[in-house]
Amino acid sequence: MFTAEAPHVYTRAQWNARAPKRPAKVRNRAPDHIIVHHTATANSNDRSLAHAFALSRAIQNIHMRKNHWDDTGQQLTISRGGIVMEGRNRSLRAIRAGDLVVGAQVLHHNQHTIGIENEGTYTSRAVPGSLWRSLTEVCVWLCRVYNLDPASAIVGHRDYNNTSCPGDALYARLPALRRSVADRMESAPSPQPSPSTGDNGDTGDDSWLPLFPSLGNLG
C-alpha cells in the first residue's frame, strides 16, 4: 500500500462530529471513481480551522436532520482554506486500508465511488488556491492508495447525476486537476483500475439529495 504524501486529514473527533445513527458500511475493495462536489454554500473568506470544523458540523446536521441519513454523506471535506477533514464515519481508516466506506453522495453510484465535498459555490467564482492545492493532494493520495488512473477516475458529480454540482467553474478545471494529479504520480506505479463493477443498485440512505435543498440542484 502506497500511502506516502498523504495529506493531513482532521478526524471526526477533532471537528466534534456527532455519532452516526449506525456504523457506515465498509466494502473490502477500492472505489473506481473519485467524485468532486461543491457544497453550494457561501464562498467564505474565513480560512480558519474553527470555520472548517463548523462547516463539517453544519453538513453533518443537514445530512442527518434534514436528509435523514445515517451520517455525513461524503467521505472527505475540504474547506476554502484547504483544510481536509474526514466526513462519514470510518472513512479515514477505510482509505488507509484501501477499502471503501459507502457514502451518500452520488445517487445510484455510492457503492463504487468516493466523494469529496469542496466548500463553496463554483458556478462562476474561481476556486481558491488553498482549496485547489488540497484537492490535488487528496486526489494524489486517493489515486495512489486505490491504484486509480486520475485521467479516468476523477469526475464531477454532474457526470453521474442531474445536478450542476460541482459548478461550471470547478467542473471546467477537472481536466487540469487530472493532469496535475497525474504529474505528481509519475514516479509511482500506475496500473489501470479494474472496469466498473456495475454495482449501482443502492437505494434509500445511500441516495443522493441536494446538500441544501433550498438551492435546488446544487450540492
Q: How many angstroms separate the Cα of 132 from the Cα of each of 127, 153, 172?
A: 6, 17, 13
Q: Which residue has the cell 459555490?
A: 121
Q: What is the nearest approach in angstroms of Zn ion to the Cβ of residue 37? A: 3
Stretch that binds Zn ion, among 1-9, 152-160, 167-175, 182-190 (CB under 5 A): 152-160
Residue 165 engages Zn ion in binding (rule: CB under 5 A): yes
163, HSE (Cβ side, Cα atoms, 13 Å): 31
Separation CA 205–CA 210 (nearest Å): 13
Nearest Cα residue to 142 out of 107, 104, 177: 177
Stretch that binds Zn ion, among 4-12, 20-28, 35-43, 192-200 (CB under 5 A): 35-43
In the list 157, 173, 178, 184, the residue contacting Zn ion (rule: CB under 5 A) is 157
Separation CA 12–CA 75 (nearest Å): 11
Separation CA 94–CA 91 (nearest Å): 5
Residue 76 engages Zn ion in binding (rule: CB under 5 A): no
Residue 88 engages Zn ion in binding (rule: CB under 5 A): no
In the list 12, 25, 33, 37, the residue contacting Zn ion (rule: CB under 5 A) is 37
Which residue's CB is nearer to Zn ion, number 14 or number 217? 217
Separation CA 136–CA 114 (nearest Å): 15
- Per rule CB under 5 A, count of chain residues that contact Zn ion: 3
Subset of residues 7 to 26 that bind Zn ion, contact rule: CB under 5 A: none
The binding site for Zn ion (CB under 5 A) comprises 37, 157, 165
